[in-house]
Amino acid sequence: MPTMPVVSAATGVSPPAAANVVVEDIYGFLRVLSDGTILRSPEKPVFCPATFPSSHPSVQWKEEVYDKANNLRVRMYKPLSTAGDGEEAGKKLPVLVHFHGGGFFLGSCTWANVHADCLRLAAEAGAVVLSAEYRLAPEHRLPAAVDDGVGFLRWHHAQSTMDAAAADGWLTEAADFGRVFVTGDSAGGNIAHHLAVRAGPAATKRGEVDLDLRPVTVRAYVLLMPFFGAVRGGRSGGWGRRRAAAAAKGTEATDAAVGCRGQSACCRRG
């Protein structure tokens, strides 16, 4: 039998719909409403102060779009001097690909702390640093972030094979595509892990490489405090039940806002 609408006997009209309320509030930076609407503040979170250095006397930087379909950017950092000294004279610089942290749902290569870290890496390591954006949850559920990491390496590979006139000038001038290092912190470390799984030496030995980067050579994957396993859920509901069920199956659960709930390889135990 079809359900009849609720009608007020006094007025003969349906009561107003329930108010749309905030069910998740993360530092005022990201809010999830009861109807599923996601609101992101254009302001930087309070835990990302603007006291970090925005420039370095020996490093220049710029931004490019590496994925036009998703409007994903990369910040590129290059030491002013690329000539080198002694045995290094005339040699190109190693490349450090970096993915920022943020639990898969926040963060940006434009944030002051990430920018300052990359300036310092370029200056002190004498490397070309590529700080890549990726799509964030909950608007883009996992494995979107990992897919974007793969997409960035493919963009980097394309830069190594295209005509010099079409490639990025900084990479053509200064980047040694045979000395590439992939790193990331927290969620970015998780992305680096999955790139190693898909393109690293172990995958090569198994004959399971699905990301052929030649002539680009990734020498190492550096995981800084990589984010694996469970995170505490909020009012999205059912967190305790999901975690208990996941434990019984030998997996880990994650917050519904991230999207994988323990079913993605990003948080499944091996």
| 71 CB-contact burial (10 Å; exposed 0-12 / middle 13-18 / buried 19+) | exposed
In a domain, 261, yes or no: yes
In a domain, 4, yes or no: no
Phi and psi torsions of 45, nearest 5°: -60, 160
Number of domains present in the structure of the chain: 3
In a domain, 157, yes or no: yes
Contacts of residue 139, defined as CB under 8 A and 6 or more positions apart, other chains included, come to: 38
202 plus 269 within the same structural domain: no
Residue 24: which domain range? Answer: 18-47
In a domain, 11, yes or no: no
73 plus 157 within the same structural domain: yes
Task: Identify which of 21, 48, 14 has the alpha carbon closest to the alpha carbon of residue 36.
Answer: 21
**Lowest model confidence (mean pLDDT) among 78-82, 132-136, 141-145, 259-263:** 259-263
42 plus 120 within the same structural domain: no
68 plus 139 within the same structural domain: yes
In a domain, 172, yes or no: yes
pLDDT in tens, 167-181: 999 999 999 999 999
Cβ atoms of 193 and 223 within 8 Å: the answer is: yes
86 plus 216 within the same structural domain: yes
Q: Which residue has the higher pLDDT, 265 or 270?
A: 265
173 plus 269 within the same structural domain: no
In a domain, 214, yes or no: yes
Cβ atoms of 132 and 250 within 8 Å: the answer is: no
162-177: burial string, b at 16+ Cβ within 10 Å, e else: eeeeebbebbbebbeb
260 plus 136 within the same structural domain: no
In a domain, 235, yes or no: no
148 plus 43 within the same structural domain: no
In a domain, 125, yes or no: yes
65 plus 182 within the same structural domain: yes
Provide the token pair at 29.
């930076």
Cα separation, 198 vs 125, whole angstroms? 26
Residue 181: CATH number of its domain: 3.40.50.1820
What average pLDDT does this structure show over 102-114? 92
**Lowest model confidence (mean pLDDT) among 53-57, 110-114, 161-165, 227-231:** 227-231
pTM: predicted TM-score of the whole model, two decimal places:
0.75
pLDDT in tens, 45-104: 655 566 778 889 999 999 999 999 999 999 999 999 765 554 555 689 999 999 999 999
What average pLDDT does this structure show over 133-153? 96
131 plus 215 within the same structural domain: yes
pLDDT in tens, 24-44: 888 788 899 988 899 988 776
28 plus 147 within the same structural domain: no
The side-by-side arrangement of strands in the sheet containing 30-33 is: 22-26, 30-33, 38-40
For the chain, the average pLDDT equals 80
Cα separation, 153 vs 199, whole angstroms? 10
| Residue with the two structure tokens 């379909």 | 69
112 plus 34 within the same structural domain: no
Q: Which residue has the higher pLDDT, 238 or 20?
A: 20
CB atoms within 10 A of CB 141: 18
With a cut of 90, say whether residue 239 has pLDDT above it. no
The side-by-side arrangement of strands in the sheet containing 175-185 is: 59-67, 72-79, 128-132, 93-99, 175-185, 218-224
pLDDT in tens, 116-133: 999 999 999 999 999 999
Query: Which residue among 26, 47, 68 closes a domain?
Result: 47
pLDDT value, residue 107: 92
CB atoms within 10 A of CB 155: 18
